[in-house]
Structure 1
Amino acid sequence: MQIRENDYGELVIQSLHLFYIYSFYVAMKTATSIGNLPAATNSYEFLFMTTYWLIGVYVNAILIGQIVDILDSRNANRDAYRKAMDKSLAYIKQLKTPEEVVDKVRTWYLFNWDQQKCLGKLIIISLYIL
């Protein structure tokens, strides 16, 4: 047998996959007994509680994943805007434009980001032509 007790009464699991199965069993037993619910009295109740708990975990993971995607897309939009701003500022500096004009363009970009969080389509197209 691969699960046995040693001389000190401790549980010894000799196979790694059985160790994971036993750990999953203990985790499910603990998770399904949390709260004011009565403990499962038979295997059907335990299976139902485990399934119900896992569905809750999956729904929670999906919601957290959606929130992370929203934050990542927000950061991606900001990074794209920053790249467009850097590209246009580099272009006008290449034309040896006075620093005062460069500062005005930078200020316009920052103001536009604060107001709209994006560039207009025509402006974006013209920036990619640069």
Structure 2
Amino acid sequence: MTDVPQQMFDDAAAVLHSALAGDSDAVKGTFDAVVDRSGVAGAYGVAWCLAATMVGEDLPAGPAALDFPGIDQANYDTRWVARFLSAYANRDPDTGEALFGAAIADGLLPDCLLTLAGSAVATLYGPDRPE
């Protein structure tokens, strides 16, 4: 993630700040602003930054397996987040892009991005997050 524009990091920080505050409208608004400014590719970049925040950038070589107990019974957006994080962990942007395309086609990308933002906050702060 070394060649990422500063604006993308700023947008990801704004998403995290809004998610931490529990303001889902602001999370969606930030993603909408990114799409208006940079298209779906911009929203993908912000989502990829959120994945990096959750999974980390210093990944071991080779395939990664992430454990998501009960994922097969989860809602679409939760399964999407698990797959998106797996794509990131496996350095597989093509799969990440395919997931984005599928969520757009299904009309569920906003829900998926909101769940991703909430998952990032839960990963970073857990149950002891500041109010």
TM class by shorter-chain length?
under 0.3
Task: Provide the TM-score with structure 2 as the length reference.
Answer: 0.23
The structure, 1 or 2, with the larger RCO (C-alpha pairs under 8 Å, 6+ apart) is 2
Structure of greater Rg: 1
Task: Provide the TM-score with structure 1 as the length reference.
Answer: 0.23
